């Protein structure tokens, strides 16, 4: 008897151009919710979860970077996301109070907050280090050689045995710091002997690509080992005299006054060429190691936008020669306008002028307005001290972006506020374009509009306005914070 066709399923496959790739990209990031979070999260050894809201601007900016990182990490680390507008129970359980919030989970258990970079490359590098053990166990010299032959620095603890209390402390430190650094350990003391140590110690191996004649490639830690002392040792020695600054590590380097030489470098394909200019910077830098200034090099292409916006440098400035800048921890900026010479003489002159206080700070600023007769005073970076830091004036300053719809919506209310207080000689209502001007230290501007009040007698402690953007609420705030009784024009309602 011939088989009946009805017993066999008929499958029709329809392929739409471009559709499979889009589905694959989306599936790289797992979507979790209240109903399945615990069930799905426990399936993964290591998982990075993004808690977000669809309307959040920072979440939208992060989304493509998160997707790219997920694609690169596929098969090793799972990336996932939770929409907190529809899954409030899960977000509340993990204490999510702002967006986006990123946390690392291990087999479904909340392990640690993610504090790394939020670029695709940064997420990839950070989470790649989250796979495997906190510290690699090395048994032989070949193991050690293979481990330290890496693009990044390596921290290796060498101990007398598995019961060593120093080993236990080292492993605790590795657990806490594994996101930032590479750790390994050994109970074979012979591994340390050829590096000049004959007892328990920690060896810090700087990246082989950055080896140079001006400093040791290996630094030995022999002090009493605690998590804190090891952290300080790594912080003080990991980068050496002139590290390679990247988008991912720039914030850690910029906690100190920092000189950076920007040029075309590529440590993946051209190590000798990348070190050509670095060696010339280091030759000069070695003369200033105890003067409070640190040094670095960076790939010019990675920082083009920053160089243009923060230092006013054109993309063609200098050609193949390095751009030299100084950025202090207080936010002061300086640029070397003289051409970089191969003998380092121009760099040395620049440093002598810097330490002697002869350099003029670079400030990104619009021109000071010739006419400023409006009720809302226009402030630029060059006039900020004169206007906002006037010791006799209480100043409300709005940092805005010309492209921001919220700023445009605020304009009539802000203007009405200024008109209401126009007859008060002790108060100024002002605004500054934060995209075209440097924002001074002490003012944290991450979004627009951001509003601060700089009161008389407390100019170094500006107060952030966090109320609603209505006239009555602005006036209540100013009445509470101002150093004098407000003089109002035409405002009759009770405050």
- For the segment 226-247, the average pLDDT, to the nearest whole number, is 95
Mean pLDDT for 65-76 is 93
Q: Are residues 86 and 73 in the same domain?
A: yes
Specify whether 404 is catalytic. Answer: yes
Q: Of the listed 91, 201, 242, 407, which one is catalytic?
A: 407
Same domain, 226 and 261: no
Asked whether residue 368 is domain-assigned, the answer is no
Of 14-18, 60-64, 240-244, 419-423, least confident by mean pLDDT is 14-18
pLDDT the model gives residue 491 = 58
Is 18 part of a structural domain of the chain?
no
Which of 238, 263, 287 delimits the end of a domain? 238
Is 494 within a domain?
no
Q: Span 44-72, mean pLDDT?
A: 93
Within a domain: 349: yes
pLDDT tens across 402-430, in order? 989 999 999 999 999 999 999 999 999 99
407 is catalytic: yes
Check: CB of residue 153 under 8 Å from CB of residue 180. Answer: no
Q: How far apart are CA 91 and CA 393, in angstroms?
A: 44
Catalytic residue among 59, 84, 201, 242, which? Answer: 59
Query: Does any domain span residue 439?
Result: yes
Q: Average pLDDT, stretch 267-278?
A: 94
Domain that holds residue 315: 250-356
Catalytic residue status for 242 = no
* Domain-terminating residue out of 291, 321, 356: 356
| DSSP codes joined into one string, 101-151 | EEEEEETTEEEEE--S--SHHHHHHHHHTTSS-SSEE--SHHHHHHHHSSS
49 contact partners, CB below 8 Å, separation of at least 6: 32, 41, 79, 80, 81, 82, 102, 103, 104, 105
- The model carries a pTM of 0.69
Task: At 44, list the tokens.
Answer: 């993964």
Q: What is the pLDDT of residue 309?
A: 84
Q: Is 201 a catalytic residue?
A: no
Q: In this structure, are 95 and 152 located in the same domain?
A: no
Residue 395 lies in a domain: yes
Same domain, 394 and 452: yes
229 and 199 in one domain?
A: yes
Q: What is the pLDDT of residue 492?
A: 55
Domain count of the fold of the chain:
4
Average pLDDT over residues 59-73: 94
Given a cut of 70, whether residue 24 has pLDDT beyond it is no
Each residue's pLDDT tens digit, 120-173:
988 998 898 888 888 999 999 999 999 999 989 999 999 999 999 999 999 999
pLDDT digits (tens, 9 = 90+) for 313-350: 765 555 789 999 999 988 899 999 999 999 999 999 99
């Amino acid at each position: 008897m011939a088989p009946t066709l009805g017993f066999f399923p008929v499958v029709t496959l329809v392929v739409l151009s471009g559709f499979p790739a889009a589905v694959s990209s989306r599936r790289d990031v797992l979507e979790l919710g209240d109903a399945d979070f615990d069930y799905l999260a426990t399936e993964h050894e290591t998982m990075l979860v993004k808690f977000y809201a669809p309307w959040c601007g920072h979440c939208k900016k992060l989304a493509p970077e998160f997707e790219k990182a997920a694609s690169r990490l596929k098969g090793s680390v799972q990336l996932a996301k939770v929409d907190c507008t529809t899954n409030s129970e899960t977000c509340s359980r993990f204490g999510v109070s702002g967006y986006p919030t990123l946390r690392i989970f291990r087999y479904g258990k909340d392990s640690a907050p993610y504090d790394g970079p939020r670029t695709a490359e940064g997420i990839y590098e950070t989470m790649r280090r989250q796979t495997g053990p906190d510290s690699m166990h090395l048994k032989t010299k070949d193991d050690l050689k293979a481990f330290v032959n890496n693009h990044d620095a390596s921290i290796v603890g060498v101990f007398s045995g598995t019961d060593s209390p120093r080993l236990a402390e080292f492993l605790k430190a590795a657990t806490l710091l594994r996101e930032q650094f590479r750790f390994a350990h050994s109970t074979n003391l012979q591994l340390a002997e050829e590096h000049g140590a004959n007892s328990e110690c920690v060896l810090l191996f700087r990246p082989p690509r950055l080896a140079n004649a001006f400093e040791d490639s290996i630094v030995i830690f022999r002090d009493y080992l605690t998590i804190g002392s090891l952290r300080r040792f790594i912080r003080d020695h990991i980068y050496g005299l002139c590290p390679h600054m990247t988008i991912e590590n720039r914030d850690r380097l910029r906690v100190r006054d920092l000189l950076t030489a920007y040029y075309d470098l590529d440590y993946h394909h051209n190590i000798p060429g990348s070190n050509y200019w670095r060696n010339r910077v280091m030759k000069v830098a070695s003369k200033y190691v105890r003067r409070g200034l640190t040094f670095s090099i960076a790939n010019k292409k990675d920082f083009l936008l920053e160089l243009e916006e923060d230092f006013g440098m054109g993309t063609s400035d200098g050609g193949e020669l390095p751009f030299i800048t100084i950025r202090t921890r207080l936010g002061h900026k300086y640029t070397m306008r003289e051409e970089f010479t191969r003998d380092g003489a121009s760099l040395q002159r620049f440093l002598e002028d810097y330490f002697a206080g002869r350099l003029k700070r670079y400030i990104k600023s619009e021109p000071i307005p010739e006419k400023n007769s409006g009720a809302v005073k226009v402030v630029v970076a060059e006039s900020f001290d004169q206007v906002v830091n006037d010791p006799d004036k209480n100043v409300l300053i709005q940092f805005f972006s010309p492209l921001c719809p919220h700023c445009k919506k605020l304009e009539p209310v802000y203007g009405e506020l200024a008109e209401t207080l126009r007859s008060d000689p002790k108060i100024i209502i002002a605004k500054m374009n934060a995209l075209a001007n440097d924002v001074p230290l002490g003012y944290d501007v991450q979004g627009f509009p951001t509003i601060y009040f700089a009161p008389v007698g407390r100019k170094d402690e500006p107060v952030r306005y966090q109320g609603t953007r209505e006239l009555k609420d602005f006036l209540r705030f100013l009445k509470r914070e101002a150093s004098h009784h407000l003089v109002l024009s035409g405002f009759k309602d009770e405050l």
